[in-house]
Amino acid sequence: MIWDLHQTTWDVWCPGYGSNMIFFSDFDGTLTLDGHLTKDFFEIVEYVHEKNNELIIVSGRSVSWGHFFLTHFPLKACIMEGGGVILYVDERGEIVQEPLITLLEIDRLAAFTVKLQHHFPNIPLSADSFGRLTDRAIEFKFMDEELIDDVMKFMDQENINYSKSNVHINFWCGEVSKYLGVTQFMAKHRPIKEAKNCWFFGDAPNDESMFELFYNSVGVSNIKHCIHRLKFKPRIILEGDENVGAKGVLRYVKSVS
Ligand SMILES: [Mg+2]
């Protein structure tokens, strides 16, 4: 069975409330607050767990972060590297890692990364790029706009895909998106879960594939800084200081479960 968010007419559906729900969420800027992991994050994890619902982090961070999440929190799965890798805890309690692109694409990415560093010797690859499997990331905080544009043009010429989050420019080869990662995860690991019982929270352009295709999509209020750049916006956009990042996710999750 293919898990399809368009399995029926959304307009006649009421989003699910209560239990038996999955809350997918981006991490940076959505489950954090001003770059920090606050008590709101821990409260979200605890609240979702207590209600017998599930939190699945869908992040551009590396697979190593996924191992951290699954090791230290009561989470059963996460989707990392912008949808490139699924990680889940199997019935023996072991963490299993499933890349969603081919070895050929993984090799092409490695070769491009060498070429990129040759062309732009001073661009800062993220410290965790060495541990990434299906993508790499550039920390653009100290790069000027002109250099960011040049790097993106170079990626276009080389047929490399990329997306800009609030911390990184992630780049990869092949078909990778948060949406593809989530639909493949659902088809294989949660095939009987109904789409109307699934929510997604995000805050940035790298969440756009989810906003486009996920009916129950929610933007935390800090999305206002980039909302004008989004072609596809979340259906629900939270507002106000009380809905920034993890605070907004916590309030919303409590309101529907
Ligand atoms: Mg984010």
Domain that holds residue 135: 103-172
Rounded distance from Cα 215 to ligand 1 centre (Å): 19
Residue 71 lies in a domain: yes
Residues 206 and 155 both lie in one domain: no
Of 140, 172, 204, which residue sits at a domain end?
A: 172
Q: Which pLDDT value is given to residue 7?
A: 44
For residue 171, list its beta bridge partners.
136, 162
Local confidence band at 12 (pLDDT 50, 70, 90 cut-offs): very low
Which residues does 151 contact at the CB level (< 8 Å), separation at least 6? Answer: 116, 120, 123, 138, 143, 169
Of 156, 172, 188, the residue that ends a domain is 172
Last residue of a domain, one of 172, 206, 225: 172
**What's the domain count of the chain?**
2
CA of 209 to the centre of ligand 1 (A): 13
Mean pLDDT score across all residues of the chain: 90
Residues 138 and 120 in one domain: yes
Residue 193, in any domain of the structure: yes
Same domain, 39 and 109: no
Q: Kindly state whether residues 182 and 252 are assigned to the same domain.
A: yes
CATH number, residue 191: 3.40.50.1000
Q: How far is the CA of 202 from the centre of ligand 1 (A)?
A: 6
Report the CATH number that the domain containing residue 117 is assigned in CATH: 3.90.1070.10
CA of 256 to the centre of ligand 1 (A): 22
Do 77 and 113 reside in the same domain of the chain? no
What's the whole-number mean pLDDT along residues 100-125?
A: 95
Answer whether residue 1 is part of any domain.
Answer: no
Average pLDDT for 40-44 = 98
Which region among 12-16, 157-161, 166-170, 192-196 has the lowest average model confidence (pLDDT)?
12-16
List pLDDT tens digits, range 185-232.
Answer: 999 999 877 888 899 999 998 899 999 988 999 999 999 999 999 999
Has residue 114 been placed in a domain?
yes
Average pLDDT over residues 100-112: 95
pLDDT band at 182 (very low <50, low <70, confident <90, very high): very high
Residue 47 sits in the same domain as residue 82: yes
Amino acid at residue number 182:
V
On whether both 229 and 214 belong to a single domain, the answer is: yes
Give the distance (Å) from ligand 1 centre to CA of residue 130.
Answer: 21
Question: Which residue, among 23, 18, 40, has the nearest Cα to 31 in the 3D structure?
Answer: 40
- 123 shares its domain with 165: yes
Give the predicted TM-score (pTM) of the model: 0.86
> Does 10 reside within a domain?
no
Q: Which residues pair with 36 in a beta bridge?
A: 33
Instruction: Specify if 8 maps to a domain.
Output: no
Q: Tell me the CA distances in angstroms from 232 to 7, 8, 14, 124, 244, one per residue in order.
A: 20, 21, 21, 29, 20
Neighbours of 159 (CB within 10 A): 9
Beta-carbon neighbour count of residue 227 at 10 Å? 14
- CA–centroid distance, residue 27 to ligand 1 (Å): 6
223 with 127, same domain: the answer is: no
Look at residue 146 and tell me if it is in a domain.
yes
> What's residue 129's pLDDT?
82
Q: How far is the CA of 91 from the centre of ligand 1 (A)?
A: 30
**Is residue 3 one of the residues assigned to a domain?**
no
Residue 188 Cα to ligand 1 midpoint, Å, equals 25
pLDDT at 95 over 70: yes
pLDDT at 74: 95
Does residue 181 share a domain with residue 83? yes
